Amino acid sequence: MKKIVGIGVMLLLFLTFMVSCGGSSEKTEKTDVDFVGQNLITVGFSQVGAESDWRNSNTFSMQNAFTQEEGYNLIYRNGQQKQSNQITAIRMFIQQGVDYIVLAPVTETGWDSVLGEAKDAGIPVIIVDRMVDVEDDSLYTCWVGSDFELEGRKMASWIKNYTQSIGVGSDELHIVNIQGTIGSTAQIGRSRGLSEAAKENGWDLIAEASGDFTETKGREVMVDFLKRYDNINVVYCENDNEAIGAIDAIVSAGLHPGPDIKNGDILVVSFDGINKEALQYAKDGLISCIAECNPMHGPRVRDLIETLDAGETPDELNYVDERLFSSIENVKEIVVNGASYAVEGIGDSIQGIIVPKTEEEEVFVEEDKILLGDEQFDFYLPLLEGKRTALLTNQTGIIGNDVLNEQHILDALLEAGVDVTAVFAPEHGFRGNEDAGADIKSYVDEKTGVQVRSLYGDGDEKKPDADDMEVFDVLLVDIQDVGVRYYTYYISMYYMMEACANAGKKVIILDRPNPNGFYVDGPILEDEFKSPVGELPIPIVHGMTLGELARMINGEGWLSTGKNSCDLTVIPCQNYHHEDITRLVINPSPNLKSPEAVLLYPSTCYFERTVVTVGRGTNEPFCIYGSPYFEGIEDYNYTFIPESMEGAVSPPYEGQLCYGVSLKEKSMEELSEEHLNPEYLLKAYNDFCVNYPDKSFFGKADKKGHYWVDYLFGTDRVRIAIESGASAEEIKALYAEDVANFKEMRKPYLLYKDVE
């Protein structure tokens, strides 16, 4: 489902990493990093999230096992319980060329393709904790974790033995199950353990619902269960955090959690045995039994990696032994599948390893905001150490789009001691206040003393010159794009990438969301229609971030220097998906003055240089359009007079009354449904032609016979179709194949979950 989101304002320093894709797209060799003289093995660890104390202990165990002292460089990535985040993380590990990937998968299915990519790249994958369900088992090397179904069966056996011991019959049990994350091995196994036992014993399993392994959802689910059923006497919680939430709900409802179900108690059982509060509850009898789930997998995974590194083959499946705990002494032992298990008391025997959530993880759990590339200092500042750094940026380069603190990337870098030697300014200039296409001089920024080198300077080709390339070693790109082929920031990035590839300089993209990144539409640019408003063979709306597009430029060999010739690193955003429709809080250029204008821009920009103006010189450019020619014509009742202003010094029809259409009333939701909409242009064209049959709607053709609209469309096919009376559907059909092909072509370069 699409959601409209603002871009985050947080500064988080950890839990992220970078993507490198220079040199070669395939990883065949080990890339042990040299850290203070040591050869380290790099392990990319994609963790489920930080949903429970179990999970935090597990992360802690991994971080403790994979230290530099032990010879490892661990790249940890928190997936925030979302498979898409985990897939992005794995793709980035692959790009980065890690030595091993460790995956704690949130759910079992959906991993085939990304694990296939890891296999193709020659990176061994070790699965930890939950399992993956893939067609081809060779996609991973080995697995270590718990037997979740056995845990469930042990618990069911305890319930059976205990309730029998107090004389409660099978038909008297009314059980609810607060399940874990649906589709995770822990949920599947534990739920199966209970449901099978319910069938065997004739128990009444009243209801099951997911608490997602969290306290909050555990509470919510229990509140709901208590509202719906008044006979619950057993609550089976699939982890301790859910149990804590459920107990809170039970107590708040005036009921009593405990083992005395004959006298109205509600018996609560759970899994893990890692949470301090849950252990106390177990001692106090509020939780009657806990099945241990051991999270301390770090050393186990390290052993597996050591085995692999020694060229040996570890066992494919490695189960961990686990125990059962209860402070109720009635049941001393249970038997499952012929094996007996002791029930231990709750004492100091449970090694409850309590790992508090880090501040960053707390924020991550509570906030789901998009984190920009430029907020992730930890990952790019080290790459700038000792390097003369240049920036490609403008007024949008505000760290985290945090308009309250308003720290520009240039200031942030200088504050961090980075040697910034130049700023490259794109169209509209470093301050973003110059007219479209205007010539802008280079100058020295008064505040910082850094030289601002204009790529839109007088007479140049909008490319850096030899002198520009002398002054830096690394180029950092931090600029807000809008994802449209005729919006020129990507062209500046492309030219800079090419110059950097030529000069052997590194390029780092601090990625930002694409506010038009939720769809792909329009014809692919034909070579003949290359212009200052169209450089690459991509559709008008390409649905990629600058980081993704840079990867495509490199991977498709669009640089004259050849395929993958640019030493490129992308610092991706976190929590961004292509389905998100991001509202920009900083105007990306002087005539895109609202989030609505950003959505309309692909469709209303077609009017540029026709007899219709898009409202430059007003406060609503691209949200309105009109022309003096439309006076007295039905449907063109919205009037406006363009005036000279910053960013539109001499707008079309300056000082003249224009009659037109306002799209300002349309909501973001409505606009987002329209995609690239040829209807505005088509209707205006037809209405104009009826009233002015002798005049040219599209203005004058150039020497090649091309009109400006042809350069915008990237082809003359669309204009010709319009002139021959085509409908909007027929126009869209002209480029439907381009769109379908491009969607396929962009897949390998995506860093974020796609819409479809």
Binding site for ligand AHR (CB under 6 A): 51-52, 54-55, 129-130, 186, 213, 239, 271-272, 293
Alpha carbon distance 610, 620 (integer Å): 18
Q: Considering beta carbons, is residue 190 or 675 the nearer one to ligand AHR?
A: 190
Q: Considering beta carbons, is residue 147 or 498 the nearer one to ligand AHR?
A: 147
Tokens of 648: 């539109």
Alpha carbon distance 296, 415 (integer Å): 40
Alpha carbon distance 590, 644 (integer Å): 13
Q: Measured from the CB of residue 333, what is the shortest distance to ligand AHR in angstroms?
A: 23
Give the 3-state secondary structure of residue 102. strand
98 with 43: CB under 8 angstroms? yes
Can you give 268-301 as a three-state secondary structure string?
Answer: EEEEECCCHHHHHHHHHCCCCEEEECCCCCHHHH
The residue type of 288 is S
Alpha carbon distance 517, 514 (integer Å): 5
Q: Measured from the CB of residue 269, what is the shortest distance to ligand AHR in angstroms?
A: 13
Alpha carbon distance 505, 501 (integer Å): 6
Give the 3-state secondary structure of residue 204. strand
CA–CA–CA angle 30, 33, 36 (5° rounding): 150
Q: Considering beta carbons, is residue 243 or 568 the nearer one to ligand AHR?
A: 243
Q: Measured from the CB of residue 137, what is the shortest distance to ligand AHR in angstroms?
A: 20
Question: C-alpha distances in angstroms, 679 versus 319, 675, 686, 731?
Answer: 61, 11, 10, 10
Q: Considering beta carbons, is residue 271 or 636 the nearer one to ligand AHR?
A: 271
Q: Measured from the CB of residue 185, what is the shortest distance to ligand AHR in angstroms?
A: 7
Closest CA to 355 of 16, 47, 13: 47
The residue count for the chain:
756
Q: Measured from the CB of residue 74, what is the shortest distance to ligand AHR in angstroms?
A: 20
Q: Considering beta carbons, is residue 218 or 515 the nearer one to ligand AHR?
A: 218
Q: Measured from the CB of residue 93, what is the shortest distance to ligand AHR in angstroms?
A: 21
Task: Read off the DSSP letter of residue 262.
Answer: G
Which residues, including other chains, have CB under 8 Å from residue 84's CB and lie 6 or more apart?
Answer: 577, 752, 753
Tokens of 453: 């080198």
206 with 229: CB under 8 angstroms? yes
Q: Measured from the CB of residue 82, what is the shortest distance to ligand AHR in angstroms?
A: 14
Q: Measured from the CB of residue 230, what is the shortest distance to ligand AHR in angstroms?
A: 29
83 with 72: CB under 8 angstroms? no
Give the 3-state secondary structure of residue 466. helix
Q: Measured from the CB of residue 169, what is the shortest distance to ligand AHR in angstroms?
A: 30
Sign of CA dihedral 379, 380, 385, 386: positive
CA dihedral 179, 180, 182, 188 (to 10 degrees): -80
Q: Measured from the CB of residue 325, what is the shortest distance to ligand AHR in angstroms?
A: 14
67 with 41: CB under 8 angstroms? no
79 with 44: CB under 8 angstroms? no
Nearest-Å Rg of the Cα atoms of the chain is 31
Q: Measured from the CB of residue 109, what is the shortest distance to ligand AHR in angstroms?
A: 15
Q: Measured from the CB of residue 282, what is the shortest distance to ligand AHR in angstroms?
A: 15
Can you give 483-533 as a three-state secondary structure string?
Answer: CECCCCHHHHHHHHHHHHHHHCCEEEEECCCCCCCCCCECCCCCHHHCECC
Q: Considering beta carbons, is residue 145 or 515 the nearer one to ligand AHR?
A: 145
Q: Measured from the CB of residue 194, what is the shortest distance to ligand AHR in angstroms?
A: 14
Q: Measured from the CB of residue 239, what is the shortest distance to ligand AHR in angstroms?
A: 3
Give the 3-state secondary structure of residue 643. coil
**Beta-sheet pairing, 638-640 with 658-662:** antiparallel
